[in-house]
Chains A and B, each alone.
Chain A
Amino acid sequence: MTSLFDKFLPLERTRAELVSGSGVDPFHVVVERVVSATEAMINGRKVIMAGTNNYLGLTFDPECIAAACTAITEEGTGTTGSRMANGSYAAHVALENELAAFFNCPAAIVFSTGYIANLAILSTLAGPEDVILLDADCHASIYDGTRLGSAQVIRFQHNNPADLEKRLQRLGDRAGNTLVVVEGIYSMLGDRAPLREIADVKNRFGASLLIDEAHSMGVLGEQGRGLAEAYDVEADVDFITGTFSKSLGSIGGFCVSRSTELEYVRYAMRPYIFTASSSPSLIASTRKALEILCRSSSLRKKLWDNATRLYQGLAAMGFELGPEISPVIAVRLPASVGETTALWNELLSQGIYVNLVLPPATPGGKPLLRCSLSAAHSQEQIKAILDAFALIREKLQSHA
């Protein structure tokens, strides 16, 4: 007799193989206790967290914690429903206004997660007569949003404006009804979109442009607004989506737009309508984190110092890395899935937690060990990460 679970057996076999060597499941790590923005207890020992996207290290910021505590005391633990059904709290609206002001945009919508922001916008903004042209390396939330929607979906080659142009050309009159989707910093390799060239192409064809600044907000640009600010093309970007779960250290997502008509879309997005809204404490800490981000660029400078040090240190050891210095540093290994998993375990046993990323989720189909840096990492911690990778390097060389 067959079971509903039969189709998951190949997945379970793969997982069991990965675990068999060490007894540790790399995709079900239990953080027993969080010690700080950069440290946690795993398997009974203190580990440096070097894969958590906590770019500005704000998860333990005293001001953010105080704001969250006040909100939870005054407004409770949750909203117990969606904004359309239960009403928006004043803080939801205030955060939308603050995000609009931060991005110099007339319209903003806040969502319960970054994933939901992309799911909602991409499934709703482009309809059956429209086309979504997305970079092939876009995040799963973008792909999933297109699957939930009804637009025609076409991929263009990663970071290739010429391929984008070719595909817009093929669309003919439909190019004007096309939403081009890219990311500020791509989450796997840490590379940036060639946004000036992409904006130029989309302008020539009269298409619209959405950029997901999930990994670049707070990281790039003089004011931390992301890649569009860094490349001075904000006026050419029609929609920006992003998340609160990286630089802002909480949970949530947003979309801002140069068009006030974004407000029309709010009432059509099922992932917005049918999801419980963010809790008061999350909104409060996010607002405080945004205020801190606006107030000073010192955390951003510290982040880049750390990222540069780690990237250059790993490059000097001869590791194959992503194409440019970034707070996302991907180490691409000339090793099998099993060998890479063993190396990931070795790093953990050295007290370093990074992300293990396996094909097909990796660009180019190679397994990789993905680090993400934080402004909160100390010089000593960066050295410890480098020392652990040096040991990995030795093991790789001895196997070669």
Chain B
Amino acid sequence: MQSKEDILEQLYELVRPFSKQTIELGAETGLVNEMGLDSVKVMELMTQIEDHFDISIPLNILSRVDTLGDFAEQLQHLLQDS
């Protein structure tokens, strides 16, 4: 099973090209507020993350995701269940 930290490291790599601003990525980085991602970019990013981890991310979990740390936690659950 992958740790949350492992998942976070992979997330940083996947997210970096989408981040318009030169910000330091961390577990507390907000996907929308700090990275400035609009809904179209968020959906593009989702597709890349899904392909990277070979999972489908249910839309239902997105309401529970504000930060990269939240996202890593949700991905960890999904990877456990897959």
**Interfacial residues, chain A to chain B (CB-CB below 8 A):** 136, 146, 152-155, 157, 167, 170-171, 359-360, 365
What residues of chain A lie closer than 8 Å to B17, measured between beta carbons? none
The A-B contact count (CB < 8 A) is 27
Q: How far is the CB of A389 from chain B (nearest CB, A)?
A: 26
A155, B43: Cα distance in complex, Å: 10
A360 x B60 contact (CB < 8 A): no
A359 x B60 contact (CB < 8 A): no
A157, B38: Cα distance in complex, Å: 18
* Seed contacts A154-B56, A157-B47, A170-B55; 14 additional CB < 8 Å A-B pairs: A146-B59, A153-B58, A153-B60, A154-B57, A155-B43, A170-B54, A170-B56, A170-B82, A359-B40, A360-B38, A360-B39, A360-B40, A365-B38, A365-B40
B43 x A136 contact (CB < 8 A): yes
10 pairs of residues in contact across A and B, judged by CB atoms under 8 Å: A136-B43, A153-B59, A154-B58, A154-B59, A170-B54, A170-B82, A359-B38, A359-B40, A360-B39, A365-B38
A155, B62: Cα distance in complex, Å: 13
Q: How far is the CB of B48 from chain A (nearest CB, A)?
A: 12
From A152, A171, A365, contact of B60 by CB (8 A): A152
A360, B41: Cα distance in complex, Å: 10
B55 x A152 contact (CB < 8 A): no
User: Closest A-chain residue to B54, C-beta based?
Assistant: A170
What sequence of 0s and 1s flags, for each residue 41-82 of chain B, a beta carbon within 8 Å of any chain A beta carbon?
001000100000011111110000000000000000000001
What sequence of 0s and 1s flags, for each residue 23-47 of chain B, a beta carbon within 8 Å of any chain A beta carbon?
0000000000000001110010001
What residues of chain A lie closer than 8 Å to B43, measured between beta carbons? 136, 155
A359, B41: Cα distance in complex, Å: 11
B58 x A152 contact (CB < 8 A): yes
What residues of chain A lie closer than 8 Å to B59, measured between beta carbons? 146, 153-155
**Interfacial residues, chain B to chain A (CB-CB below 8 A):** 38-40, 43, 47, 54-60, 82
Q: How far is the CB of B56 from chain A (nearest CB, A)?
A: 5
User: Closest B-chain residue to A136, C-beta based?
Assistant: B43
A153, B46: Cα distance in complex, Å: 14
Q: How far is the CB of A181 from chain B (nearest CB, A)?
A: 13
A136, B47: Cα distance in complex, Å: 11
User: Closest A-chain residue to B51, C-beta based?
Assistant: A166
User: Closest B-chain residue to A168, C-beta based?
Assistant: B56
Q: How far is the CB of B64 from chain A (nearest CB, A)?
A: 13
User: Closest B-chain residue to A149, C-beta based?
Assistant: B60
What residues of chain A lie closer than 8 Å to B54, measured between beta carbons? 170
A155, B49: Cα distance in complex, Å: 13
A376, B1: Cα distance in complex, Å: 62
A167 x B47 contact (CB < 8 A): no
What residues of chain B lie closer than 8 Å to A152, measured between beta carbons? 58, 60
A171, B39: Cα distance in complex, Å: 25
Q: How far is the CB of A118 from chain B (nearest CB, A)?
A: 16
What residues of chain B lie closer than 8 Å to A157, measured between beta carbons? 47
What residues of chain B lie closer than 8 Å to A155, measured between beta carbons? 43, 59
What residues of chain A lie closer than 8 Å to B55, measured between beta carbons? 170
